[in-house]
A and B are shown apart, each in its own frame.
Chain A
Amino acid sequence: MIKAIIAFLLVGLLPARALAEADLTIVASLSTGWVRNFNPFNETTRLHSVRDFVYEPLVVFNAMHGGTPDFRLATDFNYSGNLLQLSFKLRDGVEWSDGHAFSARDVVFTFNMLRAHRELDSQNIWDRISAVEAPDADTVLFTLKRVNSNIAFEIVRVPIVPEHVWSKVADPVTFTNDNPVGSGPMTEIRRFTSQIYQQCRNPHYWDTQHLKVDCLNFPQVGTNEQLLTAAAAGTIDWFGAFLPDIERTYVATDPNHHRYWFPPGGTVAININFDSPDPSNRAAFRNVNFRRAVSMAIDRGAIVDIAGYGYPVVNEYASGLGRTYLGWVDAEAEKEFGAYAHFDKDAARALLAESGFRDRDGRGFVANPDGRPISFTILAPNGWTDWVNTTELVAESLNQIGIHASVSTPEPAAWTQKLISGSYDMAINGYLTGETPYRSFDMGFHSRFSGKTRFAATRFVDPELDQALDAFISTIDPAAQRQAMNKVQMILASNMPYVPLYSNPIWYEYSTKRFKGWFNGDNPVARPDVFDGTPERLLHLLALEPVAP
């Protein structure tokens, strides 16, 4: 009898254990209600769990470690001798989540689809490649229009979709891909409501030995405050957010499990508009000594501590390169111009005085050498509290050396529009990171982008800078690349078209309650955030495993 009861209890318990799934709860983007859209090419409303998790990249380049490749659907890539062709070798035995074999034809199909539908080609990659072919089922050959050593990074950002599904899609632009067939670890959409959706394990995934997570839960969270509320309650495993005073607001709510790690990311800087609509401000902004004085007036350490709660890392490089790319720093440029990126109020005042910027009417603010007054506002996007506070401290610092500046906080949409259209004087702005510093410098300062994106908002152009940036990608020789990058830094450091403040933290918080294997300061494998645009999150997902119950 007792045996029977024990047996009954065991039978009752065992299946429950076997059924317990390893569900990882993630907040990868804020939303007021999920809408089903798993089209990976849709730049505007695709769900942020489509790329990398449903569609696996060919290669993940590890931006934290100089772009070292982690091969996924491809196992190798090579440039031809003249650097005008790039071939990828594909992995054997990879299957789509419906069991069809993955092959080079899928890659060729995907790229040709982007050529036919330009609105899907958000990187405008067909501007740099001229053909994509599949010499055999395991090889894809890209022909380039001109030498471009950066192209591999850009090619792998294109999600590869299955030909046998997408060739039947009437209009891939408006297609919402409700039940995606993918190559990544998490392809099965098990539940979908406006409040939560669940993305589960791909039954045909090739790298099952590393995949210890069964399902991803994406609860809908509308604001940072709600995110903090949910995270403090311990319901979220992996997210990224600016949380004020994180030790108290998040870590203290479960000191044994709640953790964060904020490695340095993209540069945050004050943009100075070379084409300011106001002629007298413009005259001052085009004077390099004025820009240097602005930079020297700012106490970056204090800003990091006060506005950033100590999370960011100061950026005291005249080129703006930042601690993120320590290995690329041009010592010469910093030796010559680095002083202009360090706080020195007296030197700032002296520089203004010797350049003819003097207070002419006794109101305490300097004017141009020809007597025209200087007065401007610095824009910061409303609601981005750390940036708004930063900008306020910058304006105070400028007032202290006699520059008449104040802060204006338009809504984010208006801030963006002003940066693009050029109707502003100064503004705080942030730059993206990449595998090398090339991406943020190119997007910020190459003349072909000037005035077209929010990143290229300073309207500073220099043919030599364009040449140096182009030279960087026209070679794969590390020495020649370094030389080109040094030139870029030298030009930026000597002209100071923007005022670097700090490297924005990569926002990453996690809980060790249910999963282990997290990236952190002791385990710095790769960029740790879970946002769309960080392909390393795939490596991170595969590194996680459930904590033994």
Chain B
Amino acid sequence: MAFLLRRLGFYVAAFIAAASFNFLIPRLMPGNPIDTMFAQAGTALPPESLDALKRTFGFLDEPLPLQYLHYLGSVFTWDLGLSVKFYPLTVNQVLVRALPWTLLLVATSSLSAFAVGSLAGAQAAWKRGGGFDSVGAPAALVLQAVPPLVTSLLALYLFAISLKWLPTGFAWDPMIDLDWSWQSVWSVLYHAVLPVTTLALAQIGGYLVTMRNSMINLLGEDYITLGQAKGLTERRLRLAYAAYNALLPALTSFAMSLGAVFGGSLVTEVVFNYPGLGYTLYEGITSRDYPLIQGQLLIMTLAMLSANFIADLLYILVDPRLRRA
């Protein structure tokens, strides 16, 4: 219990620190949203018009400390204001619009990569030095080392442009209105194949290696030998004895990647024109949409901290030694 409270205190402090940086960082970037928008329009707005516009978007020329207080207030009431880039939508609406797609994209790919990677890693460790271990493991590593940009562009070119098996962009067929019909669900799945697969491919290698390494260490332990001596089935020994205990490090990196889910996957979303959070954040940054950047970073911070917290809880479940601490 003390362990939990200690962790919780740490997370609250971390959140406040992150929220403060979140306030400062966009303001340290050169350029501001209103100037950036008008620069391209080629119009010279008189100062009073500019001021009126700034008021509309809630940019007040008040001293920085006062702005900070207002900002903190908005963080705790979760009223993040209007987005400049996606006006008239509020920041909350913009984020809610992108969130489901990112969840679908990154959660599916992370989960499948975790499952496939960990199982394959367990297999490789069990038969270490065998055929799969000497070919599959390095191959997975190579795949992971290739930047996602390259994999996704290659996949786009091969399957969408050359072979025309899969769509080149969008989250669903633009010509249909999205609802819960089979047609819509099919369309969403069809459009998710390429982005999900390329994202998953990039992650499998990591899980595979983490799992393999920690399991090889465990396989030398006495309780494995004991299990063998007791005549347990190989399958039981491999999964319930070795893999289960080797899961700890893999679980940490999985929790971290779940936190990163809310950051979206910028490259994949850009390449496949997929309307997720990463793309939204990128747009916010290029147009200096302070409210949107803040909102998105806030969500990422919260998600990261919660994911870590959940990982802490899982540790307690998986590792009985911590329960006593």
Show the binding face of A for B, using Cβ within 8 Å: 32-33, 35, 37, 42-45, 117-124, 127, 173-174, 176, 191, 193-196, 219-223, 225-226, 229-230, 232-233, 410-414, 416-420, 432, 443, 449, 452-455, 533
Given contacts A45-B86, A229-B160, A411-B286, 9 further A-B contacts (CB under 8 A): A32-B275, A35-B88, A44-B53, A119-B53, A122-B45, A123-B43, A173-B56, A195-B172, A414-B31
Q: Contact flags (1/0) for B197-215 with A, using CB distance below 8 Å?
A: 0000000000000000000
Residues of chain A contacted by B32 (CB below 8 angstroms): 417
- Closest-by-CB residue of B relative to A36 is B88
In the assembled complex, the CB of B23 is this many whole angstroms from the nearest CB of chain A, namely: 19
- Please report the C-alpha to C-alpha distance between residue A120 and residue B52 in the assembled complex, in whole angstroms: 9
A118 pairs with B37, CB closer than 8 A = no
Q: Does B29 contact A (CB under 8 A)?
A: yes
From residue 9 to 39 of chain B, which have CB atoms closer than 8 A to chain A?
A: 29-32, 34-39
Residues of chain B contacted by A420 (CB below 8 angstroms): 35, 39
In the assembled complex, the CB of B205 is this many whole angstroms from the nearest CB of chain A, namely: 27
Q: A32-B283, A416-B35 are in contact. Are A195 and B171 (CB under 8 A)?
A: yes
Residues of chain B contacted by A225 (CB below 8 angstroms): 271
- Please report the C-alpha to C-alpha distance between residue A139 and residue B5 in the assembled complex, in whole angstroms: 77
- Please report the C-alpha to C-alpha distance between residue A374 and residue B258 in the assembled complex, in whole angstroms: 52
In the assembled complex, the CB of A372 is this many whole angstroms from the nearest CB of chain B, namely: 27
B275 pairs with A33, CB closer than 8 A = yes
- Please report the C-alpha to C-alpha distance between residue A533 and residue B56 in the assembled complex, in whole angstroms: 24
Q: Does B268 contact A (CB under 8 A)?
A: no
B84 pairs with A44, CB closer than 8 A = yes
Show the binding face of B for A, using Cβ within 8 Å: 29-32, 34-39, 41-46, 48-50, 52-53, 56, 84-89, 97-98, 156, 160-161, 168-172, 174-175, 177-178, 270-271, 273, 275, 279-280, 283, 286-288
Partner of B48, one of A118, A194, A219, A230: A118
**A196, A220, A414, A453: most-surrounded residue (chain B CB, <10 A):** A453
B87 pairs with A35, CB closer than 8 A = yes
Residues of chain A contacted by B287 (CB below 8 angstroms): 413
- Please report the C-alpha to C-alpha distance between residue A414 and residue B26 in the assembled complex, in whole angstroms: 12
Provide a sorted-by-A list of 28 A–B residue pairs whose CB atoms are within 8 angstroms: A33-B98, A43-B41, A44-B53, A45-B84, A45-B88, A122-B41, A122-B45, A173-B53, A194-B275, A196-B174, A220-B174, A221-B273, A223-B270, A229-B156, A229-B161, A411-B31, A411-B286, A412-B36, A412-B286, A414-B31, A416-B31, A416-B35, A416-B36, A417-B31, A418-B30, A420-B39, A432-B42, A453-B44
Residues of chain B contacted by A226 (CB below 8 angstroms): 168-169, 273
- Please report the C-alpha to C-alpha distance between residue A201 and residue B288 in the assembled complex, in whole angstroms: 36
In the assembled complex, the CB of B306 is this many whole angstroms from the nearest CB of chain A, namely: 27
A43 pairs with B43, CB closer than 8 A = yes
- Please report the C-alpha to C-alpha distance between residue A432 and residue B169 in the assembled complex, in whole angstroms: 33
A417 pairs with B45, CB closer than 8 A = no
- Please report the C-alpha to C-alpha distance between residue A454 and residue B279 in the assembled complex, in whole angstroms: 27
Partner of A416, one of B39, B86, B275: B39
Residues of chain B contacted by A223 (CB below 8 angstroms): 270, 273
B56 pairs with A119, CB closer than 8 A = yes
- Closest-by-CB residue of A relative to B279 is A32
Partner of A414, one of B29, B34, B89: B29
Q: A119-B56, A420-B39 are in contact. Are A174 and B170 (CB under 8 A)?
A: no
- Please report the C-alpha to C-alpha distance between residue A93 and residue B39 in the assembled complex, in whole angstroms: 39
B168 pairs with A118, CB closer than 8 A = no
In the assembled complex, the CB of A369 is this many whole angstroms from the nearest CB of chain B, namely: 34
B86 pairs with A35, CB closer than 8 A = yes
- Please report the C-alpha to C-alpha distance between residue A417 and residue B30 in the assembled complex, in whole angstroms: 7
In the assembled complex, the CB of B160 is this many whole angstroms from the nearest CB of chain A, namely: 8
**B85, B88, B279: most-surrounded residue (chain A CB, <10 A):** B88
- Closest-by-CB residue of B relative to A223 is B270
Residues of chain A contacted by B53 (CB below 8 angstroms): 44, 119, 173
B283 pairs with A118, CB closer than 8 A = no
**B42, B46, B174, B287: most-surrounded residue (chain A CB, <10 A):** B42
Residues of chain B contacted by A122 (CB below 8 angstroms): 41, 43, 45, 49
Q: A45-B87, A173-B52, A222-B270 are in contact. Are A229 and B169 (CB under 8 A)?
A: yes
Residues of chain B contacted by A121 (CB below 8 angstroms): 46, 49
- Closest-by-CB residue of B relative to A229 is B168
Residues of chain B contacted by A127 (CB below 8 angstroms): 46
- Closest-by-CB residue of B relative to A232 is B161
B169 pairs with A452, CB closer than 8 A = no
Residues of chain A contacted by B87 (CB below 8 angstroms): 35, 37, 42, 44-45
Residues of chain A contacted by B168 (CB below 8 angstroms): 226, 229-230, 233
Residues of chain A contacted by B30 (CB below 8 angstroms): 410, 413-414, 417-418
- Closest-by-CB residue of A relative to B164 is A233
Partner of A417, one of B35, B43, B84, B270: B35
- Please report the C-alpha to C-alpha distance between residue A121 and residue B48 in the assembled complex, in whole angstroms: 11
- Please report the C-alpha to C-alpha distance between residue A416 and residue B161 in the assembled complex, in whole angstroms: 36
Would you list the 6 A-B pairs with minimal beta carbon distance, nearest first?
Answer: A413-B31, A119-B52, A416-B39, A196-B174, A417-B31, A195-B174
In the assembled complex, the CB of B15 is this many whole angstroms from the nearest CB of chain A, namely: 28
Residues of chain A contacted by B42 (CB below 8 angstroms): 432, 443, 453, 455, 533
Q: A33-B97, A195-B171, A411-B286 are in contact. Are A417 and B52 (CB under 8 A)?
A: no
B36 pairs with A413, CB closer than 8 A = yes
In the assembled complex, the CB of A48 is this many whole angstroms from the nearest CB of chain B, namely: 11
- Closest-by-CB residue of A relative to B176 is A193
- Please report the C-alpha to C-alpha distance between residue A409 and residue B23 in the assembled complex, in whole angstroms: 26
- Please report the C-alpha to C-alpha distance between residue A119 and residue B49 in the assembled complex, in whole angstroms: 4
Residues of chain B contacted by A32 (CB below 8 angstroms): 275, 279-280, 283
In the assembled complex, the CB of B60 is this many whole angstroms from the nearest CB of chain A, namely: 15
- Closest-by-CB residue of A relative to B42 is A432
A219 pairs with B174, CB closer than 8 A = yes
- Closest-by-CB residue of B relative to A222 is B273
In the assembled complex, the CB of B11 is this many whole angstroms from the nearest CB of chain A, namely: 32
Residues of chain B contacted by A194 (CB below 8 angstroms): 97, 275
A118 pairs with B46, CB closer than 8 A = yes
- Closest-by-CB residue of B relative to A34 is B86
In the assembled complex, the CB of A440 is this many whole angstroms from the nearest CB of chain B, namely: 9
Partner of A43, one of B38, B46, B48, B178: B38
- Closest-by-CB residue of A relative to B178 is A193
Q: A37-B88, A432-B42 are in contact. Are A43 and B37 (CB under 8 A)?
A: yes
In the assembled complex, the CB of A147 is this many whole angstroms from the nearest CB of chain B, namely: 21
- Please report the C-alpha to C-alpha distance between residue A226 and residue B43 in the assembled complex, in whole angstroms: 29
- Please report the C-alpha to C-alpha distance between residue A176 and residue B56 in the assembled complex, in whole angstroms: 13
- Closest-by-CB residue of B relative to A43 is B41
**A118, A225, A413: most-surrounded residue (chain B CB, <10 A):** A413
Residues of chain A contacted by B89 (CB below 8 angstroms): 35
Residues of chain A contacted by B85 (CB below 8 angstroms): 45
Residues of chain A contacted by B48 (CB below 8 angstroms): 118
Residues of chain A contacted by B271 (CB below 8 angstroms): 225
- Please report the C-alpha to C-alpha distance between residue A230 and residue B56 in the assembled complex, in whole angstroms: 37
In the assembled complex, the CB of A148 is this many whole angstroms from the nearest CB of chain B, namely: 16
Residues of chain B contacted by A455 (CB below 8 angstroms): 42
Residues of chain B contacted by A123 (CB below 8 angstroms): 43
- Closest-by-CB residue of A relative to B276 is A32
B174 pairs with A193, CB closer than 8 A = yes
- Please report the C-alpha to C-alpha distance between residue A229 and residue B157 in the assembled complex, in whole angstroms: 9
A195 pairs with B38, CB closer than 8 A = no
